Amino acid sequence: MANVLVVDDSKFMRLILKNGIENDSGKKHKVVGEAEDGASAVAKYKELKPDIITMDIIMPVESGLQAVQKIMELDPSAKIIMVSAMGQEKIVEEAMKLGAKGFVTKPVKNEELLASIEKIINQ
């Protein structure tokens, strides 16, 4: 079972991700925390030490890219999945260079998200 931190500035999107992770995985994974911006994501990562993070890219205060960079500096083994809208491929590439392990596009399909979580957890 993976403990997941869900990061997105949209409360609605966090709810969709949380429901998909917890309900569709048959309680195999658990959302242990949520953050609404990059700065909160870094703080929650330090506090909760989740197994995996879903990270939005465009957020207030600090972007997903800034959060990925800071989290990877704290823990080079952190497992981060970028969640982005179509058309943000360049930013996703940058996130992967910074250390993100995968990405899924919005609108998120639960099967893709769960497959990505499984792949990264089992690496």
Q: How many domains does the chain have?
A: 1
- Average pLDDT of the residues of the chain: 93
The reported pTM is: 0.95
**For residue 67, what are its two tokens?**
């959060």
Cα 101 off chain centre by: 10
Do residues 83 and 17 touch, judged by C-beta distance below 8 A? yes
Please give the structure tokens belonging to residue 78. Answer: 């952190």
Query: For 50-101, how does the pLDDT look when each residue is reduced to its tens digit (9 = 90+)?
Result: 999 999 999 999 999 999 999 999 999 999 999 988 677 788 889 999 999 9
Q: What is the pLDDT of residue 77?
A: 97
The per-residue pLDDT for 50 is: 98
CATH code for position 102: 3.40.50.2300
- Higher-confidence position of 116 and 24: 116
Domain that includes residue 6, residue range: 2-121
